[in-house]
Chains A and B, each alone.
Chain A
């Protein structure tokens, strides 16, 4: 099995928004896409995805429609709303700032203090 990083709390929503921003996906597709874009480093328990999806729909960040999947099964597809796109931008910026700050903190050397 691949190395699984524990997801930081709150990052699942960000990953879902990112995955869906690349094109409409059904739930299982979201899982696959996250695995794919994270280089299989991040794995999510399958069931845990759905409460997060429903939460994002309720917040108006995603919209849904029923459609046929690539292998001809009926599935619910998720798509970013404009509100969702805006949120993704904000969250991405926030995340990058956080990563930069933590990286710089971790890179600190004794003589720099």
Chain B
């Protein structure tokens, strides 16, 4: 059906010449027949034919009408326009190439950014009925703590509330997988047995967990990812029922998830899960009788009952939460709130704003490109004024001419768009590598149908935008002027010049907005880079390892601080002896400064609920604080100075009272008036000892480059054992060899331990800026392109002006005008255009800068330095672009100019 339609379309397109010949012959025969008749009245043959032609009327007009009558429908006229346009464009290949290239780059860049936006923000999550999927977050409003996780009884309450089809806590963890050649660290997600039923996901091999499972402890089964299956098990088809050891516990592999299956999570780590394990979240290693106020389930997702909106579910959950708080008042001294959020919001996280900013920026570049092309078309319209006038005189209708010109523009933009998409498609691999890996759903980025449709729509829009002004201008053509004056210097060209000046102002306004955006981001980035860190990342490396966490605590070799201390001591001793290492320390991953990969994970590993001694009237009120555990050498190694009191020392062991070091911000926050040293606090876990603050260290940007004063609490590893460990080394080490060297040392102490995640602190620091750097670089590149296009635009307009006024300039020079004055006049023209543009752009820039507030650091959105700098650069570029034609103006030889024409 469709095929037949296209075939007839093609046939009409290619065989039109047949009908065209027919038409010609018929009209010729008409003239002949009429001439025959006139001849019979006694006219000579030549005179008869002349009269016949005159009587017939405007052949061109009727021929055109006949064509339309034959064509009869829109498509045919369109095809005719298309063929004519192609013919015209073939005649000026240079012009066509410039336009197509400009549009190709604009549409290519826009499409590329859109494909990322599409994958990240627009596409629904790749699960069945994704609109039903939500994330559940708990808040404790009394202490202003958000997203604090939930307890097992709370999970059961939500599960049985009838609001959700399924609710599954999710607990990201790392694990030591043993059994293959090397102990491997794997990314593990601990879920409820109905997790896969919740996501409605099926393994490609084997089966999922039994959703009905409700016995204590872990199901001794795991599902593995396709990547892990191929990497560690060589894609073994007989993988099912094989057993592996994770943290010394034995698990059977019952399923392999399909390639491309990602768990919904907020970080790349959380999404690229390698192993899924399921538990009912009570029984070993968790408590047999879980307490309602023990919030050890960090995050949770759920599927709403079909047909229930999030708002409706939220109000029912609110009622449930209120009644539970009444029922168990002692468990909720700080109140309790449960927030339901679309799961997609969690996965997308905070990239929405930077991505939309990028899309807006690239859209502006495209718009400026379009304006530039419109300018080119207007210049060309001057040259074609004669042609248009003749066609009008021969009877072509105004509407017809406009349609013809618009068709030309659309062809240009569609060819440009196709080229642009082709460029993006060809360069997709290197382009994707530009994007920081932390961007969510990066793997979903592709040139999909929606991206292609977007490209087509944008192409058509661009064509209309840049084609409209020149087309309308042609429609308004004044025939007499155009024909008499050969198109040059006519009133039509005066109007065109005005339009072109307006277009240049628009270009400058748009690029000014972009330049301000880029300037603010650059300034922020520069401030971040040059911010005083408060610690010394240079020549420090961190390497990670992890101690096993068996489900059966009795087989845990590292259960207590006393059991773990010898391992830590021995590992430190060995690492200090590595070549080049001057200092070494051990801490948990929270102690790695600026390590984003760990920070965004809500593992509760780095968080502690504490009560301060004698501070609170309500003895139950707990405070959630973030803490790191380190060995005494840590502070010296990362270069954070001690302000008051003392650091940890070798006399702090598991048998002495527990001590803590806090930073200045922590001390100020909790004891604004007094001294923090000597104050005591303890964890709300039963039987926790009091911990005394013994030292205050200086603030450092270890948590966030943007924030100096995040309260920090450090505990001693020898008193508070950590399972996740980071080994820090300072010195002139061989960064390439260090992973193997450390692995050898770690495994010399315990050969079941994995070693991974080696990085220099400068690398970590740089990674923490990756997304910021990406936005900044992209916006800056777009702004530079925009400025270049605007410069080309103003160059064109000023050159045109100089060419048009060359005679006038010649006369002025002949009459004794100073070349300086001419130069000033031309530059002044350009400057006026640029400044008008900047003035208009200023309004837009202020609005955009306010919208970007959350992306800025330490820079006011109306930062005078940025605005002044951008304005200065702007004027410089405009003057440079005008200087070339201005020089041409002052070099005019009066004699030549006057003889011109």
On A, residues with C-beta under 8 Å from B are 26-29, 45-48, 50-52, 54-55, 58, 69, 71, 73-76
Contacts and interface: CB of A to CB of B under 8 A. Distances in A.
12 contacts: A28-B29, A47-B62, A48-B62, A50-B65, A51-B66, A51-B69, A52-B69, A54-B66, A58-B70, A75-B33, A76-B22, A76-B25
A7 B27 CA distance: 23
Contact of B57 (A27, A46, A76): A46
A28 B62 contact: no
A47 B26 contact: no
A45 B61 CA distance: 13
Contacts of B137: none
- Most chain-A CB neighbours within 10 Å: which of B25, B26, B58, B65? B26
B62 A51 contact: yes
Contact of B55 (A46, A73, A74): A46
Contact of B56 (A29, A47, A55, A74): A47
B265 to A, nearest CB: 63
B57 A48 contact: yes
A47 B33 contact: no
B862 interface: no
Interface string B23-39: 00111011011101000
A48 B22 CA distance: 17
A52 B61 CA distance: 14
A50 B25 CA distance: 12
Dominant SS among interface residues on chain B: helix
A71 B61 CA distance: 28
A47 B59 contact: yes
Given A46-B34, A50-B27, A50-B30, 12 more contacts: A26-B29, A27-B30, A28-B34, A47-B59, A50-B65, A51-B66, A55-B69, A69-B29, A71-B33, A71-B36, A73-B36, A76-B29
Contacts of A71: 33, 36
Dominant SS among interface residues on chain A: helix
Interface of B: 22, 25-27, 29-30, 32-34, 36, 55-59, 61-62, 65-66, 68-70, 72
Nearest to B61: A47
Interface pairs A-B: 8 shortest CB-CB? A47-B62, A47-B57, A54-B69, A51-B65, A28-B33, A55-B69, A51-B69, A46-B56
Contact of B29 (A45, A47, A55, A75): A75
B889 to A, nearest CB: 52
Contacts of B57: 45-48
Contacts of B33: 26, 28-29, 69, 71, 73, 75
B68 to A, nearest CB: 7
Contacts of A76: 22, 25-26, 29
Contacts of B66: 50-51, 54
A39 to B, nearest CB: 19
Given A47-B58, A47-B61, A50-B62, A28 B30 contact: yes
A58 B30 contact: no
Contacts of A55: 69, 72
A51 B64 CA distance: 9
A45 B25 CA distance: 19
- Most chain-A CB neighbours within 10 Å: which of B22, B56, B59? B56
A73 B37 CA distance: 12
B397 to A, nearest CB: 13
Contacts of A69: 29, 33
A74 B61 contact: no
A32 B69 CA distance: 22
A6 B72 CA distance: 26
A29 B22 CA distance: 18
A43 B30 CA distance: 16
A8 B456 CA distance: 46
A70 to B, nearest CB: 9
A37 B69 CA distance: 26
A77 B421 CA distance: 52
A52 B29 CA distance: 17
A50 B68 contact: no
B65 A46 contact: no
A73 B32 contact: yes
Given A46-B56, A47-B57, A73 B29 contact: yes
Contacts of A52: 69
B727 to A, nearest CB: 85
A3 B66 CA distance: 28
A33 B668 CA distance: 108
B68 A51 contact: yes
Contacts of A28: 29-30, 33-34
Contacts of A58: 69-70, 72
- Most chain-A CB neighbours within 10 Å: which of B33, B62, B68? B33
Contacts of B34: 28, 46
A47 B394 CA distance: 14
A58 B68 CA distance: 11
B65 to A, nearest CB: 4
B8 to A, nearest CB: 14
A62 to B, nearest CB: 12
A28 B26 CA distance: 10
Contacts of B22: 76
Contacts of B26: 27, 50, 75-76
Contacts of A50: 26-27, 30, 62, 65-66, 69
A29 B26 CA distance: 12
A29 B32 CA distance: 12
Nearest to B62: A47
Contacts of A45: 57
A52 B55 CA distance: 17
A42 to B, nearest CB: 16
Nearest to B65: A51
Nearest to A74: B29
Contacts of A51: 62, 65-66, 68-69
A7 to B, nearest CB: 15
A28 B55 CA distance: 12
A71 B39 CA distance: 13
Nearest to A32: B37
A102 B570 CA distance: 117
B251 to A, nearest CB: 77
A28 B27 CA distance: 10
Contacts of A46: 30, 34, 55-57
A73 to B, nearest CB: 6
Nearest to B32: A73
Nearest to B73: A58
